[in-house]
Amino acid sequence: MRGDKLIIREEHTKAAQGVAGLLLTQIIDNRRKFIITIAGESGSGKSEIAAVLSEFLTKGGVKNIIFQQDDYFLYPPKTNAEMRRKDITHVGLSEVRLEVLDQNLFDFLEGKENIDKPLVIFDDDLITEETIKPEGIQVIIVEGTYTTILKNAHSHVFIDRTNVDTRKARMLRSREEQDGFLEEILEIEHRIISSHKPKADIIVTRNYDVIMAT
């Protein structure tokens, strides 16, 4: 998504380093295409951890790219916010074209030369399209709230921070109006996203420690 603003802090680097420590040797030794998902609630640090993890992989000689779930929403961000205010039951998995994202990941694994994917232009409230040429890319990092349930991934990372834990980070980001309605949305998302935790392979704890899921 173009126009997204990242605020990378020490804890994001700590988490990314932990994830890289668990996966980098495996990725290098296998020399095969590999997909990592990073999921969590709004403001949990998904985009930031993905960005730093990408840097660690690059330093390790692993060419990679980041896919954002935000590109796969049915409606662009501002329009989607309006849809939610009209009908709060709009909030949830049905807002996102996860099947398109999964297909794009499948195409990558199958060695497709060109991958056509949606692209959100945040400031213009627009969804357009871009073509990714994945030649030479070994790893895709996919970040987004619901990415733990994607089928075409090798390792699912789950950030175990609730909507209460993320309040400060959300206020710093200022992407949405922080009001009672938003808290209702976040509570709905919390119920959905927390149910995905058992599917995760790696957990980033509330304090950004990284552990293997049990």
pLDDT digits over 29-51, tens only?
Answer: 888 999 999 999 998 999 999 99
- pLDDT of 1: 77
Name which of 200, 144, 47 is nearest 211 in CA terms: 200
Please tell me which residue, 173 or 112, carries the higher pLDDT value.
112
Residue ranges per domain, the chain? 10-212
What mean pLDDT value characterizes the chain?
93
Share of the chain above pLDDT 70, in %: 94
Class of domain 10-212: alpha beta
Query: b vs e for 141-167, b when ≥16 Cβ sit within 10 Å of the residue's Cβ?
Result: bbbbbbbbbbebbbbbbbbbbbbebbe
- pLDDT of 182: 87
Mean pLDDT, to the nearest integer, of 172-187?
74
The 10s digit of each residue's pLDDT in 141-179 is: 999 999 999 999 999 999 999 877 776 665 655 555 657
pTM reported for the whole predicted model: 0.92
Lowest-confidence range among 100-104, 172-176, 198-202?
172-176
